[in-house]
Structure 1
Amino acid sequence: MGSADIVPGVSGGTIALITGIYEHLIGAISNIKFIWLKPLLHGDFHSFKTKLLEDIDFEFFIPLLLGIAIAFLSLAKVINFCLDVYTAYTFAFFLGLIIASAYILYTELDEVNIKSFIVVAIFTVLTFIFVGLNPIAANHSIPIIFISALIAICAMILPGISGSFVLLLLGQYQYMLTCLANLKIADIITFVLGAVIGLLGFSRVIKWLLEHYKAATISALIGIMLGTVRLPYVKMASSMAGTNIIAIIALVIIGFFVIYILEKKF
């Protein structure tokens, strides 16, 4: 998930989905109700510890967050190198990943009907238009950073939508990378607060939708993934000069089967 989230156009939510932890992730986040705050404020540390362990699934979150952090630290340079030096090949691989992820979601539908096709078509078109937008020329004030984080984190937990890409569209991607590199604490804390609030709120919406409108939600996610294909395809097509077309096709196929095999394993 960490490797995916640092690449504009690839979603960490997609990786959560294909590895079979997506519903667990959404459930674990949405179940956080801060029941440990009351005993903490009253100085009852024994009850605080008990409520904290009841409220937060540490057995799930600790390895997940460690994995994301390690990916950010160790793979960011590798992925950026591949994107800079082997752009077409890298996006060809990403294209295969996204197509396969849409297919995996399709297999999750209990029933395929005209409503499903309509929802898929609507969200495919909307996402296709969205990913073709030009980045917004926004400032980097504290409120803008907060709102950008809130929106981006909502995208990050949706399969098919890249939080990094949303930041890119909002004109905050490179700025936040600079903040991380230069340890601009105020901006980083603002971003983290926006991300946490967005994550806690939006995860409950997703959980409710999956519980009450699962078919429509999955159909919408399929459409989002199909619409997102525009980004890696355009990036791949624009940098194909001097590349081997057979290798491009092979990498799309490899990307597809990587996801297919992962889904079968998990």
Structure 2
Amino acid sequence: MNMTRLFRSRYLGVAARGMAMGAADVVPGVSGGTIAFITGIYTELLDSISRIGPHCITVLRRHGIAVTWQYINGNFLLALFCGILFSIFTLARVIGHLLETYPIVLWAFFFGLVLASAVPILRSIPRWSGSVVLFLLAGAAMAVLISELRPGQVPATPLTLFLSGALAICAMILPGISGSFILLLIGIYPRVLAAVHELQLLNLLCFAAGAATGLLMFSRLLSWLMHRYIARSLAFLAGILLGSLKIIWPWKLPLVGIAGDGDKLAPLMSNASPQGYEAHTGDSAYLAAALAAAVAAATLVLSVDYLGRRHRALHSQCANSQRITQDR
């Protein structure tokens, strides 16, 4: 009974992480990969997805469905993606409403979330060297460069939706680079969001097929890098997170001469100080509320990180105790 209860709580927790990832992925500027890293499932996610491929057919023929499901960590993936899909289909409208109604407070929350997320990643780097620092700077430069790109316009055809899904999922799985932000840059984000709201099945299937293809290919590369070059990979991911803070800075002003200046989404806006925002718009900067939201988000991330490290330490201690008992 205890094992059954533990099994259920484990995958309920995974589903909850999936819901948080789905909510983050809806926001153009926040990555679901960031949530996966914060909650300690990033490496397991990459490893599990990277096992899906043609070789699974060989495992299936030789050992059957149960062994194949266990091989790809099927329970973990099922719980996680159920949480992501549930969140996307139920929270997309809520997140959109919050972006329109309380943009500063919401962006401040995500700013604190992403800033604090860099702490556990930097702490996880096993060793520092000149090349590791260079990868950290390269990741930050990449995120800043992406933030300087301006939106384009791509027609919503089955092919473009497929390619957009593949591109978005590659960004989505990277902490700090938002898949929905990339969709916004190429001008197809409103069409994807409309397809979700209106259940346009053909468009959703094309987009999902592209996302699945991109996920299977890119996750293998990331998993390989995380196992072979962990210090440089973590430094690069931390750099992307820190560089992406430019994208999600809460106080933004319309860019002069850009179509759609009034949009509150990051690619169409330039960063400003809270005082500059108030002087330019005449609106309140909601500084106290924004600071409270950022501090609450940072506290949440650091608390989750602390509890995760404590849990891993206790688990390791119990494993060592069992090993010593068996040796006796």
TM-score, scaled to structure 1: 0.90
Kept in 2, the 8 Å contact 1:98–1:229? The answer is: yes
Q: Given the alignment of the two structures, is residue 264 of structure 1 paired with residue 301 of structure 2, yes or no?
A: no
Partner of 2:25: 5
Determine which of 251, 256, 270 is the counterpart of 1:236: 251
- Cα gap change, 1:75 to 1:141, in 2 (>3 Å): closer
CA distance in 2, matches of 1:226, 1:36: 37
Percent identity, please: 34
Tell me the alpha carbon deviations over residues 93-144 of structure 1, each in whole angstroms, 9 at most, x when there is no partner: 1100010111221111112233222221122122112122111122222222
Deviation at 1:51, TM superposition (A): 5.3
CA distance in 2, matches of 1:39, 1:225: 37
Counterparts of 1:16-165 in structure 2, within 5 Å, are 16-35=36-55, 37=57, 49-50=65-66, 52-165=68-181
CA distance in 2, matches of 1:102, 1:167: 24
**Counterpart of 1:32 in structure 2: which amino acid?**
I
**Counterpart of 1:223 in structure 2: which amino acid?**
G
**Counterpart of 1:230 in structure 2: which amino acid?**
K
Determine which of 195, 198, 207 is the counterpart of 2:214: 198
Partner of 2:271: none
Deviation at 1:48, TM superposition (A): 5.0
Partner of 2:287: 245
Deviation at 1:181, TM superposition (A): 2.7
Tell me the alpha carbon deviations over residues 206-234 of structure 1, each in whole angstroms, 9 at most, x when there is no partner: 0110111111111111111111111111x
Kept in 2, the 8 Å contact 1:36–1:49? The answer is: no
Tell me the alpha carbon deviations over residues 50-101 of structure 1, each in whole angstroms, 9 at most, x when there is no partner: 4542443222012212211221233223322221111111101110001011
Deviation at 1:254, TM superposition (A): 1.8
Partner of 2:265: none
Deviation at 1:172, TM superposition (A): 1.2
CA distance in 1, matches of 2:177, 2:112: 15
Q: Which stretch shifts more, 49-58 or 198-207?
A: 49-58
How many residues are aligned here?
261
Deviation at 1:202, TM superposition (A): 0.5
Kept in 2, the 8 Å contact 1:30–1:200? The answer is: yes
Q: What SS does the aligned partner of 1:232 have?
A: coil
**Counterpart of 2:27 in structure 1: which amino acid?**
V
CA distance in 2, matches of 1:88, 1:221: 26
CA distance in 2, matches of 1:39, 1:102: 38
Q: What SS does the aligned partner of 2:247 have?
A: helix
Structure showing greater Rg: 2
Determine which of 282, 296, 301 is the counterpart of 1:254: 296
Q: Which runs of 5+ in 1 are unaligned?
A: none
Q: Which has the higher contact order (CA 8 A, sep 6+)?
A: 1
CA distance in 2, matches of 1:230, 1:179: 29
Q: Which runs of 5+ in 2 are unaligned?
A: 1-20, 254-276, 309-328
Q: What SS does the aligned partner of 1:219 have?
A: helix
**Counterpart of 1:27 in structure 2: which amino acid?**
D
- Cα gap change, 1:252 to 1:55, in 2 (>3 Å): same
CA distance in 2, matches of 1:155, 1:147: 13
Q: Given the alignment of the two structures, is residue 211 of structure 1 paired with residue 231 of structure 2, yes or no?
A: no
**Counterpart of 1:26 in structure 2: which amino acid?**
L
**Counterpart of 2:251 in structure 1: which amino acid?**
M
- Cα gap change, 1:74 to 1:145, in 2 (>3 Å): closer
Q: Which stretch shifts more, 142-151 or 199-208?
A: 142-151
CA distance in 2, matches of 1:52, 1:104: 33
CA distance in 1, matches of 2:82, 2:203: 23
- Cα gap change, 1:108 to 1:190, in 2 (>3 Å): same
**Counterpart of 2:218 in structure 1: which amino acid?**
F
CA distance in 1, matches of 2:171, 2:157: 21
